[in-house]
Amino acid sequence: MRTIFSAGIQNPEDFKTKLLAWAQQFREVVYMDSNNYAQAHSSFDAVLAVDALTAIQTDYVNAFEELNTYQKTTKDWLFGYLSYDLKNDTEVLASQNLDGLGFPDLFFFQPKKIFLLKGDTLEAHYLFMCDDEWEQDLEKILGYPSNLQPTTLNSQPLTIQQRISKESYIDKVEHMRSHIYRGDIYEANFCMEFYAEDAIINPLETYQKLNAISEPPFAVYLKNHKQYLLSASPERYLKKEGSTVITQPIKGTARRSANPQEDEAIKQELQLNEKERAENIMIVDLVRNDLSHTAEKNSVKVDELCGVYTFKQVHHLISTVSSSVGQEYSPVDVIKSTFPMGSMTGAPKISAMQIIEKLEETKRGLYSGAVGYFTPEGDFDFNVVIRSILYNEANNYVSFSVGSAITYESAPKKEYDECLLKANAMRTVLMGE
C-alpha cells in the first residue's frame, strides 16, 4: 500500500534537474522525461522511481512468464526494462554475438518512492514503510542548487571505435538485399555498435548533455547498481491505458537544416518519399498483426499513417496503431505478443531476426529493447531504446548502436550515412566534439 502526497512546483524544469540529482544516492533509479514534447497520449511530464523493495532480474529463459507472475503478485508500480534478446523467449532464436556490456535480459523493480510530475503539480507515491520521509525528502530536493549544470564530463575524451567498418557495412547491406530479392524478407533493421573500452564517464552528466542535445519525448535515465542507460529516445513502443493499447513505430528519417526554408523542404520531401513511406507502412502492417493476437475482434486500427514529426536533430515519419485488448489477456501477454517491436526487427519478423543475428556482430541487449513501467491497475507505457548510451561501470565499457531499415530499394551508402546521422548526438557527448 502507498501513501499519496502532492505539492505545487513553481519551476518544473528546475525541479526535474534537482530531483534527478537527488536520486543518485539510490542503487535503482528510473527517470523518464517527455521534455515537454506535445504528445496526444502522454500521462506525465516526468516520472522518477527509486529504491527497490523487491526486484526481478533474469536472463531470457521463461522471462515473460516470470514477469507476468511478478506483476500479478505485486499489483503495484513496477519500473524496468526488456532487452531485445527476450526474442529468444518468444521464438526459437539465439543470441551468440559479442556482448561487452553484460546486462541482464530483464530487470524490473518495485520502488519505495515514486514521483509523478504533470504541469506544476507533483504527486508522490510512497510505500507505507517510508511515507514518514516525504517532507524531509522534498526539503532536500528543493535544497539543491538551482539550474545545476554539468561540469567536466569525462577525465579524458573517449576513443570511440566502430564495430563494423564502412566497407563491411556496405557488404552486409548488399547481403541483406539479396535476402529481400529472394523473398526471405521484405525489410530488416540492421544495426551496428560504436564502443569505448577502459572508459570512465559521469552517467548523470552524460545523460544531461545527451538530453539537452536532443530533448526527445521518451528520454530515460536508468541505473541498476553499476549498469546505466542514458537514452534520448524519440519513439514509443507500447502503451496500455484501460483496454486501449497504442503503438507508435518510427520509420523514415531526414536531417534537419538550420535554414527554415530548406528545413521545411526536407520535411515535405520526407512526407512524399516513397521509399521512406514504404518502410513505415510495412512496419505498420506488422504491428497491426502483432496487436491482433490480443485484440478484440475488428478493434485494430491505424489512427495516423506516416505523420511527419520534427525533433531537434531529425525529422521522422511516425504512425499510430491502436487496439482494444481482450479481457482474457494480461498486460504482459500484450507485450509478449508484440515484442520485439517491429520497427527494430523487420518483416516478416522471425525471418528478419534470424538474418539480423547472422549479419550483426554485437548482441543488442538493452539497445532496441524497451524501458517503462506498469501501474497497479495493469496499465503500462514503454519506449524504444534507441539514440542511447549504455555504460557498465564495473568493466568501464561504453556502447551505443545505430541502425536503419533496409529494403530492396536501399542504397547502402545512404543507409550508412543515415546511421552516422543518428550517431551524431552520442558521439558529440562522448567525444566532446
| DSSP secondary structure letter of residue 41 | T
Tell me if 4 sits within 8 A of 134, measured CB to CB: no
Is 215 among the residues known to form the active site?
A: no
Amino acid identity for residue 371 in this structure: V
* 181 Cβ contact partners less than 8 Å away, ≥ 6 residues apart: 408
- Tell the burial category of 135 from Cβ atoms under 10 Å away from its Cβ (0-12, 13-18, 19+): exposed
Tell me if 51 sits within 8 A of 28, measured CB to CB: yes
Tell me if 290 sits within 8 A of 337, measured CB to CB: yes
Residue whose cell numbers read 491482433 = 292
Is 172 among the residues known to form the active site?
A: no
Helix (H, G, I), strand (E, B) or coil at 119: coil
**Catalytic residue of the set 187, 235, 279, 360:** 235
For residue 229, which of 78, 391, 368 has the smallest C-alpha distance? 391
| Cα gap 170→413, rounded to integer Å | 7
**Catalytic residue of the set 87, 112, 240, 251:** 251
| Cα gap 287→284, rounded to integer Å | 5
**Could you list the active site residues?**
235, 251
